[in-house]
Every structure is written in structure tokens, then in C-alpha cells.
């Protein structure tokens, strides 16, 4: 499915909620003069303390700075999670069952953030820390089986992110309505496959190609990595258009949070792909 966090609908709803919040001693907002939350505005407007307009506006640079903060917190959580997983002298990995709790907690925080975007400045760092703990633990499990795989996955994620950012900023790949529809459809297809796989596993079955190192399994993982990478283009596009629309600055945290969700997904898919390649 499309990124459930960072999309036009969620940003528009959050921006509308922000614009609907009156300032100190504010009267009703003008019906015909206030720009829409995602309509292009000439720039920040201020006409005194009773104005419904906000002078602090969303910028790409601001979203980038906030993203750096969230990824730093994610890294801290990753270090903690990594240390929670231990290995015995015989090479057996001890993965504490309670480490699954951060995964469920991160999902809950993500859902809360989707419905309350203005809380992202608080829930974003919390999500990054909790998700980091889980990612660190999972990464240690993979590393114990295939030495060096985590470094490869991190470098791969950084490389893909940089490549997609270059392709987007240089307009080598343009995000059009048709492009959006194609990426959304492909992402939804992946979501359905994973959902069906989870349901099948509950009844004792399996969709082996999801984790199998077979040729088809590898091709599937390559395709999913590609879809995750193209989702980055949608994130970049939404962030850029939010700046042009002079969205509230508070949404920088929400945008950074949404971008982090995509990057985490990309990292996990690259980790899965590398594990398949190393198993052949």
C-alpha cells in the first residue's frame, strides 16, 4: 500500500487542523483570504498577534534537519537492541522474546502519529527509539548467521537513498500522477502478498518465495526493494510540495517520520535480499 504516513491526504488533514487552531485572542479566520493547506502561497504572512496565519512555515531544509535527528535516535535504539541479543560459545543466538514488544509498540505509536500528526514532534523520536531497538536486535540475528550482512544492508540503503534523491532532484525521474498510481498499486500488491503470507502461516502453511533463496524468491525481493526505493520518490515529492504550499512548520516532524518509515522498510527488504543471496 502507499506510505500510510506521508501522503497528500495525511499532510492536508494535518495542515487543515493546524490552520483551524486559532492563535492568541484570534477571531474567526477570513473565508476568502486564507490559503488552503496544500495550495501554493506567496510566502509566510503575518498581520499581528490576532492573525490566523502562521509565520513559521514548512521547509525542505527543516524536514532534512528533523530527519537527521530521528535517524540519530534510531541509531541509538539500534545499538541498545543489538546489545540485547547475545551469542553462546557454540554460536547459538539468544533472542529475548520480549524484544518483540518494541515492534508492537512501534506499530502503535505509528498509528497514533497517523491520526495525530501534530504529535509527531513527540511520537516521532519515541517511534525512532523503539523501532531502533527492534531493528538492532533483528540485525544482530542476521549478522550472527551471515557476518558482514548488516554493513552491506546499511551501505545498500544509503546508496539507494542517495541514488533516488539524485534522480529526483535532477528530475531524471519525474513524479507524475501516473507514476504515483503505479507506485501505489505496486506497493499495495506487496502489502497484500505479505498479508496473505501471514494468514497462511497461521494455518501451518507457507508462501516459501517470501523468504526462500530460490531464484523466484530472489527476484521477488529485488522487486520489493525496487518498490520501496520508488516510494522514496513519493516522499520527496510530498515534502517538496509541502514547502511550496507553505504548510505549517510542525509538519516537518510528521514528514520526517513518514520518510523514516520508508527507509526502515527499505533497509529490512535489503537485509532480506542479502540473506537470500548469502544462502545460495
Whether residue 211 is predicted with pLDDT greater than 50 in this model: the reply is yes
Whether the CB-CB separation of 267 and 152 falls below 8 Å is answered with no
For the stretch 92-142, pLDDT in tens is: 888 888 888 988 999 999 999 999 999 999 999 999 999 999 999 999 999
**pLDDT over threshold 90, residue 54:** no
Residue 8 has pLDDT above 80, yes or no: no
* Predicted pLDDT at 93: 83
Q: Characterize the bridge pairing of strands 93-94 and 86-87.
A: antiparallel
The pTM (predicted TM-score) of the whole model is 0.82
* Residue 72: predicted pLDDT: 97
The Cβ of residue 159 has, within 10 Å, a number of other Cβ atoms equal to 11
Closest CA to 238 of 265, 257, 264: 257
pLDDT of residue 9: 66
Segment 70-99 shows an average pLDDT of 88
Helix (DSSP H) and strand (DSSP E) numbers for the chain: 8, 2
Task: Name residue, grid cell 535516535.
Answer: 73
Position 97 scores a pLDDT of 82
Q: Which residues of 215-226 are buried (b: 16+ CB within 10 A; e: fewer)?
A: eebbebbeebbe
Statement: residue 175 has pLDDT above 50: yes
| CB-CB contact of 206 with 1 (8 Å) | no
Cβ–Cβ under 8 Å, residues 236 and 48: no
Mean pLDDT of 53-58: 71
Contact 157, 267 (CB under 8 A): yes
Helix (H, G, I), strand (E, B) or coil at 57: strand
CA 165 to CA 171: how far, in whole Å? 10
What is the predicted pLDDT for the residue at 170? 95
Instruction: Judge contact between 207 and 193, C-beta under 8 A.
Output: yes
Q: How far apart are CA 152 and CA 146, in angstroms?
A: 11
Closest C-alpha to 121, from 59, 61, 57, 66 = 66
Q: Model confidence at 166, in pLDDT bands (50, 70, 90)?
A: very high
* pLDDT value at 151 more than 50: yes
Range from 5-9, 69-73, 241-245, 274-278 carrying the lowest mean pLDDT = 5-9
Band (pLDDT 50/70/90 cuts) for residue 2 is: very low
Q: Over 70: is that where the pLDDT of 53 sits?
A: no
Q: Are the CB atoms for 106 and 238 separated by under 8 Å? A: no
Higher-confidence position of 91 and 95: 95
Residue-wise pLDDT for 235-273, tens only, equals 999 999 999 999 999 899 999 999 999 999 999 999 999
Long-range contacts of 26-30 (CB under 8 A, 24+ apart): 26/50, 26/51, 26/52
Amino acid at each position: 500500500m502507499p506510505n500510510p504516513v506521508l501522503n497528500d491526504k495525511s499532510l492536508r488533514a494535518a495542515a487543515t487542523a493546524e490552520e483551524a487552531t486559532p492563535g492568541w485572542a484570534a477571531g474567526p479566520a477570513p473565508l476568502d483570504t486564507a490559503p488552503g493547506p496544500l495550495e501554493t502561497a506567496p510566502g509566510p504572512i503575518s498581520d499581528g498577534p490576532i492573525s490566523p496565519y502562521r509565520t513559521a512555515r514548512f521547509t525542505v531544509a527543516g524536514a532534512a534537519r528533523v530527519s537527521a535527528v530521528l535517524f540519530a535516535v534510531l541509531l541509538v535504539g539500534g545499538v541498545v537492541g543489538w546489545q540485547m541479543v547475545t551469542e553462546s560459545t557454540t554460536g547459538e543466538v539468544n533472542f529475548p522474546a520480549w524484544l518483540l514488544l518494541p515492534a508492537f509498540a512501534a506499530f502503535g505509536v505509528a498509528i497514533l502519529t497517523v491520526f495525530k500528526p501534530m504529535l509527531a514532534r513527540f511520537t516521532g523520536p519515541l517511534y525512532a527509539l523503539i523501532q531502533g531497538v527492534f531493528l538492532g536486535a533483528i540485525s544482530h540475528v542476521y549478522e550472527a548467521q551471515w557476518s558482514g550482512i548488516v554493513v552491506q544492508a546499511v551501505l545498500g540503503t544509503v546508496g539507494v537513498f542517495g541514488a533516488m534523491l539524485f534522480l529526483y532532484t535532477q528530475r531524471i525521474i519525474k513524479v507524475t500522477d501516473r507514476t504515483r498510481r503505479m507506485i501505489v498499486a505496486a506497493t499495495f500488491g506487496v502489502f497484500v502478498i505479505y498479508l496473505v503470507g501471514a494468514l497462511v502461516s497461521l494455518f501451518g502453511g507457507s508462501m516459501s518465495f517470501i523468504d526462500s533463496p530460490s531464484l523466484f524468491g530472489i527476484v521477488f525481493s529485488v522487486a520489493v526493494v525496487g518498490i520501496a526505493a520508488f516510494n522514496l520518490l513519493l516522499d520527496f515529492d510530498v515534502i517538496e510540495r509541502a514547502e511550496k504550499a507553505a504548510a505549517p512548520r510542525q509538519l516537518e516532524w510528521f514528514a520526517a517520520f513518514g520518510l523514516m518509515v520508508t527507509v526502515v522498510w527499505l533497509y529490512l527488504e535489503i537485509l532480506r535480499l542479502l540473506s537470500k543471496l548469502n544462502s545460495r
